[in-house]
A and B are shown apart, each in its own frame.
Chain A
């Protein structure tokens, strides 16, 4: 069923047991993003050490896609240099814009490739990107 390509088991697992959810007190910056069309919200804390993403913690309310995406993104980016994080960020953007024509680079995106099917549902791409945009915003602010 078409729906199964959207709701991969990996996504539903992350949704049911999200990683790095719950805001940590130890942070350099906090950002709050929402999706005004559906009301999904995320607060994201970013901690930076020696040019690396040393920690991401987040809290939010939203659909399975947006919450699972925040979980997967945190797993992927914690411990990476900002240069590496940016490569992963761009790869995820490209996957989201692929209209279902890309499977994604698993060596780079790991569980993130489960979101390949989301790119076939235009209304859901913004769900998957909510946390990623929050991270980008936090990263830019922390660099300033």
Chain B
């Protein structure tokens, strides 16, 4: 392996603990949530230790320092994705980010909104978080929902893109990288089709932002969501990015303190974006923690992380290809593919695969991965999924491969 990031594993305290069977932890579930480096844990707890106060309120020193730290975090997130600070909304999760857009677009008071007869386009490989909010928006407004399908090897099927994305289409909401297949979608082609009909593009970047460099301007999208906790950051913090002029046109979804311009007993007007989307005291320590995570990722280099995970992906795909009774669900080649590898073991249910692996300290995800329609289309109950982050290494993959052999022998399926 050309690039070795294994020295960074020691930055993650969780790897010091033992898990089932007295084993060291082999953590292969970063697509669900990533582990946290000490720098993030310290940043979050230091906020509470030293500057804790409600941001954007109060005349005291702590309020000032907390507000500065919170807004610095916003700038840091903005520069992480090539955006302006005024375009970054802190939410509690990527799920909430996507729901905010979908909900606001259903409000007739929003100056861009979805109406009866409009069409919303998603893909058949979306996570439930980028599917159900759009189903509900369609239901509330009388719009229709269409989708781009996928090919047998888990690539997006663009053969009928001009039919699916048509003159009725107002929103195209797609994932940047499938959380099941690991496929990285050709966002440029999808954006181009959306632009041709004047539709807005919403990107679910949950599986991309933590793993490779992204830039909202180069991607040519209108809204983007990602979560802090998959990006080595804390739970309880998510990001919603939107082009400023679009955010200004959207009505807020949650109302309360801090998001207003003026209030009377009978009505209120809103602050500018991003503030109007951040009612209530926000998750401040978590925003500061996310900022530390971004600093940490940048100190290693997103390109290095992407290259390293690419090598690990190659190594695991080769390992799985050499085994009998294993089927990879997703692309077998490495082109436009991230470090998420789903597979099935002939004759063994994924839940049982995961249980045996757990006995050896190997943490994987099993089941439908919140992409139930994808599983239904493939007519499978679920998969076992291994997903990486920079703290993984080849030894983890060797252990996984050995573990799968143990699964096969435990359940007495063909060698």
Residues of A within 8 A of B (CB): 1-3, 6-7, 12, 37-41, 61-65, 121, 124, 127
Contacts and interface: CB of A to CB of B under 8 A. Distances in A.
A64 B359 contact: no
Given A7-B352, A7-B355, 4 more contacts: A3-B410, A38-B382, A64-B411, A124-B355
Given A3-B355, A61-B381, A121-B355, A37 B410 contact: no
8 contacts: A1-B359, A6-B355, A38-B368, A39-B368, A40-B351, A63-B349, A65-B352, A124-B351
B352 A64 contact: yes
B410 A39 contact: no
Which 6 residue pairs of A and B lie closest in terms of their CB atoms, listed nearest first?
Answer: A63-B351, A63-B349, A38-B367, A39-B368, A3-B359, A61-B381
Nearest to A124: B355
Contacts of A124: 351, 355
A37 B367 contact: yes
Given A2-B20, A7-B410, A39-B375, A62 B355 contact: no
B21 interface: yes
A128 to B, nearest CB: 12
B410 A64 contact: no
B20 A38 contact: no
B372 interface: yes
B392 interface: no
Chief secondary structure at chain B's binding surface: helix
A62 B410 contact: no
B112 interface: no
A7 B356 CA distance: 10
A127 B366 CA distance: 13
Please tell me the size bucket of the interface on B: 10 to 19
Given A37-B367, A39-B382, A124-B355, A2 B21 contact: yes
Contact of A62 (B349, B359, B368, B375): B349
Contacts of B411: 12, 64
Contacts of A121: 355
A127 B352 CA distance: 11
Contacts of B372: 39
A64 B349 contact: yes
Max chain A C-beta neighbours (<10 A), residue from B20, B349, B350: B349
Interface in B230-253: none
Contacts of A40: 351, 381
Contacts of B382: 38-39
A40 B375 CA distance: 12
B383 to A, nearest CB: 10
A61 B410 CA distance: 20
A78 to B, nearest CB: 25
A38 B366 contact: yes
Contacts of A61: 381
Nearest to B381: A61
A133 to B, nearest CB: 17
Interface string B366-393: 1110001001000001100000000000
Given A2-B20, A2-B21, A3-B410, A38 B356 contact: no
Max chain B C-beta neighbours (<10 A), residue from A12, A39, A62: A39
Interface in B87-114: none
Max chain A C-beta neighbours (<10 A), residue from B20, B351, B366, B367: B351
B367 A39 contact: yes
A34 B22 CA distance: 34
Nearest to B360: A3
A68 B82 CA distance: 53
A1 B411 CA distance: 15
Contacts of B351: 38, 40, 62-63, 65, 124, 127
A1 B349 CA distance: 20
Contacts of A37: 367
Nearest to A6: B355
